[in-house]
Amino acid sequence: MFWRMITKTLIRQRGKMLMIAFTVILGVSLSTAMMNVMLGVGDKVNRELKVYGANITVRHKDAALMNDLYGLSGQGVSDKFLHEEDVLKLKSIFWGFNILDFAPMLDGQAVLNDGETVQLLGTWPEKHATLSTGEELHTGLKALRTWWEVSGSWLGEDDDGSVMVGHLLAGEKGIHVGDSITLNGKAFTVRGIFNDGGTDDSKILMTLPALQDLMNLRGKVSTIEVTALTTPYNDLARKAAQNPRSLSPDEYETWYCTAYVSAICHQIQEVIRDGVAKPVRQVAESEGTILNKTTLLMVLITILSSIGSALAISNLITASVIERSQELGLLKALGAYNWQIVLLVLAEVMITGLLGGVLGYFLGIGFAQIIGQTVFGSYIEIARMVILIVAVILFFVTLLGSVPAIRYLTALKPTEVLHGK
């Protein structure tokens, strides 16, 4: 009888129920879209921020100490080097998938054909390799210096006889693309002139093997620049960054298995011999700040849409109950307890809400993809946990929206509606 009454009520009151379902669809679709974007936006924002360069730098521990103590870096600061053969191991760490791009760097200096000493930078301009896992790797400095303005062209992967010259040095020495220069007596062709906007503009860039030969440092690198997708800092990450050994076993496991920049640095140090990995503060903090603010915005929109839905549902349910007060009063007169009447009305609303919720969820996924395509140019990955969160929000929004109607129902006296008193 219960379900028969509910079914017939839903059919008879389909206009109002459709309005309630429509309200739920709007609220749920917005919440679903916002939460999916919120949960999927981390990687997207990180990828957007990748244009600001590496967010982790790896140095030999001696060089890192000099950098920490005196802020020194570059050629001659330390005579200790990292091993080039370790560089590809970056992709083998637990968070290897989050390592987007990296490039080893070797600092050096040489005498130019005019007799002056110039700073050199050796790197992988581009690197293509097949990892032991079978994964194809495409990385290098070109992927890390997306903001460089280059006249001429970038160095190729095996372009050991060519160099790129920083635009300040090129201007000072009158070097042009296609010119030939000598470094320590060895001839190189200028393949391109680059504008970095920083200190590199006074350097000459060459392939890593070329500089290693020139400096007689075969297999050595000074630093490794790494771009990684990271999770914003929280208290656990801060505590771990100070001293991972201060963590309890459970905290350590959580931290190690979360893509905090400190956890990734820790894992990098496990594979790079004598290496000390440090986050580049400005980039790491920008990522965290932007992510936190974006998340806050999404949460606020979700809360506001939920409140809006609850208010709209409240009005619709109350109107429906007042319209049916004679029928509901009759049920009381026939012996229904208050909770039985409330159950009846709540069941009707919950069924309507559930139908609206399912439709709203799929509509929300569509909205999320539109946002993903419009803002980030890619699809948002659907998070299954959103289903649970939306279900909980829907339940409480519908319940809260029903409160005024429930109060009206419990106060309703059969005599007032049956005898017109």
Partner 1 sequence: MGPSGSGKTTMINIIGCMDTPSTGSVILDGVDISRENASSLTRIRRDKIGLIFQQFHLISYLTAVENVMVAQYYHSMPDEQEAMEALAKVGLADRARHLPAQLSGGEQQRVCIARALINSPQILLGDEPTGNLDEENEGIVVDIFRRLHDEGVTIIIVTHDPEVGDVAQRKIILEHGRIVDDIDQSATFGQALKLKSHS
Question: For partner 1, how many residues bind (rule: CB under 8 A)?
Answer: 26
Q: Is 378 in the site for partner 1 (CB under 8 A)?
A: no
Residue 350 CB contacts under 8 Å (≥ 6 apart), including other chains: 395, 398
Distances (CA, A) of 163 to 153, 205, 209, 212, 406: 10, 6, 12, 14, 78
**β 203-207/117-123 pair status:** parallel
Q: Which of 182, 282, 340, 378 binds partner 1 (CB under 8 A)?
A: 340
Q: Is 218 in the site for partner 1 (CB under 8 A)?
A: no
Q: Which of 333, 385, 388, 403 binds partner 1 (CB under 8 A)?
A: 333
Q: Is 1 in the site for partner 1 (CB under 8 A)?
A: yes
Q: Is 331 in the site for partner 1 (CB under 8 A)?
A: yes
CB 128 within 8 A of CB 157: yes
Nearer to partner 1, 4 or 245 (CB): 4
Longest dimension (CA), the chain: 112
Q: Is 404 in the site for partner 1 (CB under 8 A)?
A: no
Q: Is 419 in the site for partner 1 (CB under 8 A)?
A: yes
Closest contact distance (angstroms) between CB of 331 and partner 1 is 7
CB 349 within 8 A of CB 398: yes
Q: Is 414 in the site for partner 1 (CB under 8 A)?
A: yes
Nearer to partner 1, 203 or 332 (CB): 332
Q: Which of 147, 337, 379, 396 binds partner 1 (CB under 8 A)?
A: 337
Q: Is 12 in the site for partner 1 (CB under 8 A)?
A: yes
Q: Which of 112, 168, 336, 391 binds partner 1 (CB under 8 A)?
A: 336
Q: Is 18 in the site for partner 1 (CB under 8 A)?
A: no
Q: Is 14 in the site for partner 1 (CB under 8 A)?
A: no
CB 230 within 8 A of CB 259: yes
Nearer to partner 1, 16 or 266 (CB): 16
Q: Is 396 in the site for partner 1 (CB under 8 A)?
A: no
Q: Which of 249, 335, 374, 384 binds partner 1 (CB under 8 A)?
A: 335
CB 310 within 8 A of CB 401: yes
Dihedrals φ, ψ of 116, to 5°? -90, 150
Which one of the spans 44-52, 106-114, 125-133, 334-342 is the region binding partner 1 (CB under 8 A)? 334-342
Nearer to partner 1, 400 or 418 (CB): 418
CB 224 within 8 A of CB 254: no
Which one of the spans 62-70, 149-157, 307-315, 328-336 is the region binding partner 1 (CB under 8 A)? 328-336
Residue 403 CB contacts under 8 Å (≥ 6 apart), including other chains: 314
The secondary structure of 334-362, three-state, reads: CCCCHHHHHHHHHHHHHHHHHHHHHHHHH
Query: How many Cβ atoms from other residues are within 10 Å of residue 223's Cβ?
Result: 24
Q: Which of 326, 377, 381, 396 binds partner 1 (CB under 8 A)?
A: 326
Q: For residue 100, give the amino acid letter.
A: L
Dihedrals φ, ψ of 144, to 5°? -90, -20
Query: How many Cβ atoms from other residues are within 10 Å of residue 370's Cβ?
Result: 12
Q: Is 197 left (phi over 0), alpha (psi -120 to 50) or beta?
A: left
**Count of H helices and E strands in the chain?**
14, 14
Q: Which of 4, 218, 245, 384 binds partner 1 (CB under 8 A)?
A: 4
d(CA 325, CA 138): 70
Closest contact distance (angstroms) between CB of 409 and partner 1 is 13
Q: Is 16 in the site for partner 1 (CB under 8 A)?
A: no
**Two tokens at 152?**
């001429």
Nearer to partner 1, 218 or 419 (CB): 419
Query: How many Cβ atoms from other residues are within 10 Å of residue 411's Cβ?
Result: 9
Closest contact distance (angstroms) between CB of 240 and partner 1 is 58
Q: Is 332 in the site for partner 1 (CB under 8 A)?
A: yes
Which one of the spans 63-71, 119-127, 288-296, 329-337 is the region binding partner 1 (CB under 8 A)? 329-337
Enumerate binding residues for partner 1 (CB under 8 A). Answer: 1-2, 4-5, 8-9, 11-12, 326-327, 330-338, 340, 413-415, 418-419, 421
